[in-house]
Amino acid sequence: MRTWVDEFIHYLAVERGLADNTLASYYGDLQQFLAFLHQMQVSTWLEASKGEILAYLLYLQKEGRAPATMSRHLAALKSFYHFLVQERVIPQDPTVDLESPRLSKKLPRVLSSEEIELLLKQPNTSRPAGLRDKAMLELLYATGLRVSELISLDMENLSLEMGYVRCLGKGSKERIVPMGSVATHFLSAYLELARGKLMKIPGERGIFLNQHGGRLTRQGCWKIIKKYARQARIKKEITPHTLRHSFATHLLENGADLRSVQEMLGHADIATTQIYTHLTNKKLKEVYDRTHPRA
């Protein structure tokens, strides 16, 4: 049956174009389920019933797994058994009526406009690394790019004249995002005055370079952001998506429509983008409570 797992992972990679991290998670989840079946003395996937799958989910719950983790395990099983039915390996899908546990949506932490201004003022633009950092922070806040998308940018992904950046998001989906005059200004200054001083590897096409002259890593990028957050004395916890969340929230607060924000963020489902409306609604309620005489 491990052969069918390998076939399934190949199908997800080639036919559905899932990311390597997702493939690795699905593979690990299926191996864990197979180990559970062996403990239950069920010899193959073919013999697994709805009861065994429910017992597995109960086992995960007793192990203290989070609802999101259990949901991912069930998604892997549902997708795998659907594949087996599709390939006519089994006649019926034992997961067909099973539902994922309800997930409580955590509202993302965002920085206020004042905190963003403080953060963006921190880099010393008289130095090449400082000018790089300034351009990087301005671009992240101006576009809502994921850090992984930012560090993957090559020189040919920029159009400074038109003021937009082209990036590859999840599932290698391309999108074009406007970057605004301020980010364009500092990016131009960085490319003209600083990037050449940082570059030590001939032919390097990455835009943001580290002290060794190679492409800046995700870890390096977040060390830089956390350093400036400390300098700005921002007390909030900074996560890899803080500037992205702030970008989306501030756009909606200032009247942007949800569809446009969805497109700029590269969300496949608008429901993912809608979580930011909870933040803006919360702020409206705070303003109402603070200002209305009968609140």
Give the 3-state secondary structure of residue 194. coil
The single-letter DSSP state of residue 163 is: T
Amino acid of residue 130:
G
* 91 phi/psi in degrees, rounded to 5: -80, -30
What is the DSSP track for 90-109? SSS-TTTT--PPPPPPPPPP
Task: State the sign of the Cα–Cα–Cα–Cα dihedral 132, 276, 16, 94.
Answer: positive
Which residues does the annotation mark as catalytic?
A: 146, 170, 241, 244, 267, 276
> What is the sign, positive or negative, of the torsion defined by CA atoms of 228, 234, 237, 243?
negative
Do the beta carbons of residue 186 and residue 135 sit within 8 Å? yes
Q: Compute the distance between CA of residue 247 and CA of residue 225 in angstroms, rounded to an integer.
A: 15
How far is Cα 222 from Cα 238, in angstroms, rounded to an integer? Answer: 9
Helices (H) and strands (E) counted in the chain, each on its own, are: 14, 3
CA–CA dist 243, 224 (Å, integer):
13
* Tokens 């004249």 sit on residue: 161
